[in-house]
Amino acid sequence: MYRYLEHTADELLEVQAETFSDALHDAVLGSFELIGKGENEETDFEVEVHSPTLKDLVVDLLQQVVAQCEIREVSPVGVTVLEVNEDEPMARALIRGQNAVPPNEIKAVTYHLLKVEQKEGDWHFNILFDV
């Protein structure tokens, strides 16, 4: 589950899921709302990120998804998280999308207000996008 919270500037995404992998999946889907979803699955590409911490992993993965969609001119449609390692933070995901320039630009995935924590068995993320 993901939803956007009110924020004075930019876009603040809140994610809650049972597993870290599911939370990453939902965070990537949430980013698609800002990038602008495509309509058809015409192409796909993988992103793989290795980071020093889980917080860095969340930011790095989302930043790679945003950058690759822009570079490859893909409007994203779906995501499959292929691999996650929480002990040595890494993630690999398959992004599916339409061959079209994304309609919106995300300038950055920021560390401001970033939250990546496990609480009462669920993972909770807050991610602020600079748009």
pLDDT at 52 over 70: yes
| Structural domain containing residue 80 | 2-130
Render pLDDT for 56-74 as a digit per residue (tens, 0 to 9).
999 999 999 999 999 999 9
Render pLDDT for 23-50 as a digit per residue (tens, 0 to 9).
999 999 999 999 999 999 999 999 999 9
pLDDT of residue 72: 97
pLDDT of residue 45: 98
Nearest to 58 by CA among 35, 33, 81: 81
Question: Counting beta carbons within 10 angstroms of the beta carbon of residue 10, is it exposed (0 to 12), middle (13 to 18) or buried (19 or more)?
Answer: middle
Q: Which pair of structure tokens corresponds to residue 69? A: 């969609």
pLDDT at 100 over 90: yes
User: How many domains is the chain partitioned into structurally?
Assistant: 1
Q: What is the CATH number of the domain that holds 43?
A: 3.55.10.10
- The DSSP code for 36 is -
Render pLDDT for 2-23 as a digit per residue (tens, 0 to 9).
676 665 668 889 999 999 999 9
What pTM was computed for the model?
0.91
Query: pLDDT band at residue 102, thresholds of 50, 70 and 90?
Result: very high
pLDDT of residue 10: 84
Residues 6+ apart with CB under 8 A from 96: 41, 43, 44, 76, 77, 78, 79, 80
